[in-house]
Amino acid sequence: MISTMVRNVPKIVSFPNGSNGSVVGHLYLPKTYNCNQRYPAVVVGGSMASVKEQMSGTYASQLAHHGIIAMAIDYTNWGESSGAERQSEVPTQKTKDLSSAVSYLVSRKDVAATALLGICTSAGNILYAAAEDHRVRALVTVAGFFGEPGLLSTLFGTDGVESRKASGRQARELYRETGEIETIKAYSDTEPAASKTPKDSYYMDPSRGGGVRAWRNSFAVMSWESWLAFDPVEKASHVTAPTLMIHSQKAAFPTQASKVYDLLAGPKECIWTEATHFDFYDNPETVQHAVQQIAVFLHKTLVL
């Protein structure tokens, strides 16, 4: 599906992650790039367990066509980035990764100002980063997953949450004692502990995200406790940067998106569409419409 959208060839970059490791990113430059000019720039993060060659790279590449320097990243422990605890979802480290990516971009002479763009779970991660890092001049969320403890209890049940925490502690102890990382599938239509995903959806389809060679469909069990503590809703009221939210009633938990929107402390706009959640990942029409809205917002907001 995504083959109908042309991707630029990115530059591979790396920079410190704030935890004695490094983050690897794909940097996309505008087609008419001039090193003597300064451009709006954005860091792009994807869904839980994704890599930069998936939806984050799609958005970064398309935004470069609109005159924006865009960088898709692999978070620590994922893809080409460093990290011993592979396939671990650790929101606190993702916050460091995003701020480190901002540091990289603001150090460049060709960058005027920097924003964060988060797709699905990264929409929550960027709220963490923006609440702490006031160098972030703007935020964009696309089909955001905005978790909080009450939502997770509804999804998994109280017993389900506690059993996941317990299995996470056991897996953590196994890792400490042996170095072995116990994993489950990140997305599955059959595995009970995985994120429930229809078998014909983005991750399960080899012609879509499921066919990306750099991607592994696995989740480190020892990261359950950190992931279950993920609460971007609590961070929303601390975010003062201008924010554009793009969502749909058919995307993940629209009531959570509305809750976050109401809590944001800065200038804000929410665009509601008719797209499904996975349409936002790689449906050409959906992505192009979102990218056009994002580009207008970033060019308007990231001015000197």
**Segment holding 39, helix H or strand E:** strand 39-45
128-133 long-range contacts, CB within 8 A, separation 24+: 128/91, 128/92, 128/94, 128/95, 128/98, 128/232, 128/235, 129/94, 129/95, 129/98, 129/99, 129/102, 130/235, 130/239, 130/241, 131/235, 131/238, 131/239, 132/95, 132/99, 133/98, 133/99, 133/102
Query: Tokens 């449906």 belong to which residue?
Result: 283
Q: According to the model, what pLDDT value does residue 6 have?
A: 63
Nearest CA-CA partner of 194 in 219, 225, 166, 226: 219
Nearest CA-CA partner of 29 in 3, 1, 66: 66
With a cut of 50, list the residues of the chain below it in pLDDT: 1-3
Based on its alpha-carbon atoms, the radius of gyration of the chain, rounded to whole angstroms, reads 18
Given CA atoms 238, 73, 144, 230 in this order, what sign does their dihedral have? negative
Q: According to the model, what pLDDT value does residue 4 have?
A: 54
Q: Compute CA 229 distance to the chain's CA centroid, rounded to the nearest angstrom.
A: 17
Q: According to the model, what pLDDT value does residue 200 have?
A: 83
Beta carbons within 10 angstroms of residue 253's beta carbon: 18
The domain made up of 11-155+229-302 has a fold known as Rossmann fold (3.40.50)
